[in-house]
Amino acid sequence: MKVNIIFTADEVSQSKTQGKICVVIDVLRATSVMITALENGAKRIFPFKDIETIQEKCRNLKNVIKCGERNALKIQGFDLGNSPLEFTKEKVFGKDIYMSTTNGTKAIENSIFAEKIIICSFLNVKSAAEKIIEYGKDCTIICAGTNGEFSLDDALCAGLIIKELEKHIDISLSDKLLALVRISESHDNIKDILKGSTHYSRLLALGFEKDMEHIFTLNKYSSVPEYENGYVSIK
């Protein structure tokens, strides 16, 4: 199996994704939020790059949740921000969620020409790798990155997926993929590897430490949400 890697949402294009199995990662925090919300019973998550699109779509809808962030903080007038811990069973069970984030929802919207779009974070690495193997085709791992830049948290998650894939199948490792695997082997725990990285440090400075404890729980969940027909859900 051939595995490609893209490091920012901005680099995702039709030619790079068309007909591919794509795995979208935005560990801090969009894909971690999606997986948590769906595990807590949310029905569907509709991701959009633009806040205006969400306002428009939700104008005549009742009982939906609008959520997301700009500069990591809740969007004014929205119901929830982008902290996975906000998405409790009590708040999200049975609900449709409309979400806009700076990088994560952009990465998904830019991937719409892919054959399959798998949503991944540290929370479901093992099951996401199993799903890639089940689909059995070349895959492209899309790291959302942070504001158009490489983000170590997403790259680490990609490295963990590759390690998981390697347990079961042969994949040819480019130097980029090898670097990601080596990063994932550099320390025993995620916190130590990410110490000092840009987005992690920013979220800590904003007081989102508890989010991180949750987000760094490797393989807490076994579901693998996918994006299809305009929304993310657990099939």
- Partnered with residue 80 across adjacent β-strands are 67
Q: Which is nearer to ligand MLT, 48 or 114 (CB)?
A: 48
Displacement of CA 70 from its chain's centroid (Å): 16
Q: Which is nearer to ligand MLT, 72 or 129 (CB)?
A: 72
Peptide bond into 70 cis (omega under 30): no
3-state secondary structure of 46: strand
Q: Which is nearer to ligand MLT, 177 or 212 (CB)?
A: 212
Instruction: Tell me the closest approach of the beta carbon of residue 104 to ligand MLT, in angstroms.
Output: 3
Q: Which is nearer to ligand MLT, 6 or 203 (CB)?
A: 203
Instruction: Tell me the closest approach of the beta carbon of residue 75 to ligand MLT, in angstroms.
Output: 10
Residues forming contacts to ligand MLT in the complex (CB under 6 A) are 26, 28-30, 69, 72, 82, 101-104, 144, 203
Classify the phi-psi angles of 141: left when phi > 0, otherwise alpha if psi is within -120 to 50, otherwise beta. Answer: beta
Cα–Cα distances in angstroms (integers) from residue 228 to residues 50, 78, 100, 131, 138, in the given order: 19, 24, 17, 15, 19
Instruction: Tell me the closest approach of the beta carbon of residue 22 to ligand MLT, in angstroms.
Output: 16
Q: Which is nearer to ligand MLT, 99 or 162 (CB)?
A: 99
Strand spans (E) along the chain: 3-6, 21-25, 44-47, 65-70, 73-74, 96-100, 116-120, 139-143, 226-228, 231-233
In this chain, which residue has its C-beta nearest to ligand MLT?
Answer: 101
Instruction: Tell me the closest approach of the beta carbon of residue 204 to ligand MLT, in angstroms.
Output: 11
Instruction: Tell me the closest approach of the beta carbon of residue 74 to ligand MLT, in angstroms.
Output: 9
